[in-house]
Amino acid sequence: MKFAFALVALTTLAFVPAANAADARLADCSKLAKQVSAALETAPAGATVDAARQLAAKGHNYCGLQLYSVGVSHYSKALELLGKN
């Protein structure tokens, strides 16, 4: 019985760092989403802004699917198009 409890405890502890890493990536998505939103508010209309909006939407979707690195990549590309990165 003690062995089973120890095994469960160790297994649980093994997943704590993974959860913290996921939170960090989610935080990156949130930070970049705010930056892109602010940049879009001040950007003049045009094809570049439209492309940046599409990239931001894709970033939002990927971050929502917990594919944080892909979402961050799309947000970063949007910022590049807007000249903010």
Neighbour tally for 61: CB within 10 Å: 13
Of residues 33 and 3, more confidence is placed in 33
Neighbour tally for 85: CB within 10 Å: 14
DSSP string, 56-82: HHHHHHHHHTT-HHHHHHHHHHHHHHT
* Mean pLDDT, rounded, for 4-21: 42
Of residues 1 and 11, more confidence is placed in 1
In this predicted model, what pLDDT tens digit does every residue of 68-84 receive, in sequence order? 999 999 999 999 999 98
In this predicted model, what pLDDT tens digit does every residue of 24-55 receive, in sequence order? 589 999 999 999 999 999 988 888 999 999 99
The DSSP symbol for 84 reads -
Q: Which helix (H) or strand (E) holds 37?
A: helix 2-42
**pLDDT in the model for residue 9:** 41
Burial 40-58 (b: 16+ CB within 10 A, else e): beebeeeeebeebbebbeb
